[in-house]
Amino acid sequence: MDALEALLGADLKIEQEVFIKRLNTHFTVKAIDGQTINKLRDEATHYVGKGSKRKAQFNEEEFNSSLIVAGCVNPDFSNAKLLEKYGARDASDCVLKALLAGEIIALQEAILRLSGFVDNADDEVEEVKN
């Protein structure tokens, strides 16, 4: 099969279950496209200073939680009951309040792998962030 045929027959709807031991349940995550990754990266980049002193600052925590919100099919972190339970202002805040750091990393890595960042996931994550 050549590349064109492979692309024409490809399914972009790729999902996987990730077991979260502490909760004794599976979360369902999905692949996300490059456009969404770029949007999340841009939203997590804030500028400080003015003129020639203006610099971009990347908020890794914001990117990670937004990536999980975009890539997590189940549960829905914008669910009103979840937001209320954790006192979260939005879905990204809920991710940070409801999950432990290692759980966030596990979900993030699964989403990035499904999205095509297969080899050297840590290097790829850094590249996406920059």
CATH classification of the domain holding 83: 3.30.2220.30
In a domain, 71, yes or no: yes
Q: Within a domain: residue 57?
A: yes
Number of domains making up the chain: 1
What tens digit of pLDDT does each residue of 95-121 get?
Answer: 999 999 999 999 999 999 999 987 654
| 110 within some domain | yes
Q: Domain limits at 97?
A: 15-129
DSSP secondary structure string for all residues of the chain: --HHHHHHH-----EEEEEEGGGTEEEEEE---HHHHHHHHHHTEEEESSGGG-EEEE-HHHHHHHHHHHHEEES-TT-HHHHHHHT-SSHHHHHHHHS-HHHHHHHHHHHHHHTT--SSHHHHHHHHH-
Which residues of the chain fall short of a pLDDT of 70?
1, 119-130
- Output the pLDDT for position 121: 47
pLDDT at 4: 83
